[in-house]
Structure 1
Amino acid sequence: MVQYLLMITAELENLTNLQPQGGSDDVNFPFMFKLKCGCGEVTEKETCVSLNETVPLPTGRGNAHLVQKCKFCGRSGNLTMITGQGRPLTQEASQAGSFMPVMAFDCRGFEPLEFHFGGTWQAESIEGTKFEGIDLSEGEYADYDEKGECPVMISNPRAKFTVVK
């Protein structure tokens, strides 16, 4: 059993608290990334997992958020999401170039790679205005904060997976 922690960072202009819409533990947020099998084969397309979808394990003992066979070697692997580890990306962390945790994954037989910023995100301006429904799939987001009378922007979103166990 190896646990991977999805860590994100981005350049935030006049924004703070970037996180998945509804928070890191939102059951409907789609986490999309490629998987690498223990044999070294990487999936061609992103795999999508969310907290609200589980499938029974082939052994019949418990559930996982993903059970999949490698198309190359035929080995089966599974992935289970672990809640309670996510924290919003603050402006201070962004300016420092720090990565913040979003979600943990217990992976057996697979390693997550290349997170895709799909789904909708939320953040708030430094003046407190909430911005929801943010689409980062194109790599940036720009808007204007009427209350704070300033432009807001998210650019250069980056993600990495780190081993935690």
Structure 2
Amino acid sequence: MVNFALKIGADFENIASLQPQGGCDDPSFSYFFKLKCGSCNEVTQKETCVSLGETVPLPVGKGTTNLIQKCKFCGREGTITMIPGSGYPLTQRLSQAGHDSAVMVFDCRGYEPVDFVFGGGWKAESLEGTIFEDIDLSGGEFVEYDEKGQCPVMISNLRAIFKVW
């Protein structure tokens, strides 16, 4: 069992914070990434979708997990279980210091998450308190105008990495 934190970073202009739409523990937010088999090191060709709101029973014993998947190359099975309460938004302070923020932690058994893909469903708050919802970051950036603060806002240079937690 190894826990991996999904750490995100970005450059902000007049942005106070960035996080999944309903917060880091949003059960409807979907995380998309590829998986590397811990047995044969094969990486999945397509991204896998994992969310807190979707659980399946474990094949042995009691309990649930968020994903059970079999490696198409070697046939070994692995699980990914999300750990709620472990993530926090990326803030302006962290961004300016060049630090990343762990938005979610995954308990991985038999797999290692790799290559996170930014998509829709993000929320940002401007320095003036304006909330921008359902942001699609698949293009690598977000640019808008904050009417309240009368200034442009921008999220750019998005990056994501999985780190052992």
Q: TM-score range by the shorter chain?
A: over 0.9
Corresponding residue for residue 110 of structure 2: 109
Corresponding residue for residue 15 of structure 1: 15
How many Å apart are 1:60 and its aligned residue? 4.0
**Paired letter, 2:133:** E
Structure 1: gaps spanning 5 or more residues? none
Residue 119 of structure 2 corresponds to residue 146 of structure 1: no
CA distance in 1 between partners of 2:59 and 2:42 (Å): 21
**Paired letter, 1:160:** I
Corresponding residue for residue 54 of structure 2: 53
Residue 49 of structure 2 corresponds to residue 71 of structure 1: no
Structure 2: gaps spanning 5 or more residues? none
Which of structure 1's runs of 4+ aligned residues deviate more than 3 A?
none
Corresponding residue SS for 1:161: strand
How many Å apart are 1:85 and its aligned residue? 1.2
Corresponding residue for residue 37 of structure 1: 37
Corresponding residue SS for 1:142: strand
Q: Percent identity?
A: 66
CA distance in 2 between partners of 1:92 and 1:60 (Å): 44
Corresponding residue for residue 5 of structure 1: 5
Corresponding residue for residue 132 of structure 2: 131
CA distance in 1 between partners of 2:105 and 2:123 (Å): 19
Corresponding residue for residue 83 of structure 1: 84
Aligned pair count reads: 164
Residue 30 of structure 2 corresponds to residue 24 of structure 1: no
Provide the TM-score with structure 2 as the length reference. Answer: 0.97
How many Å apart are 1:123 and its aligned residue? 1.0
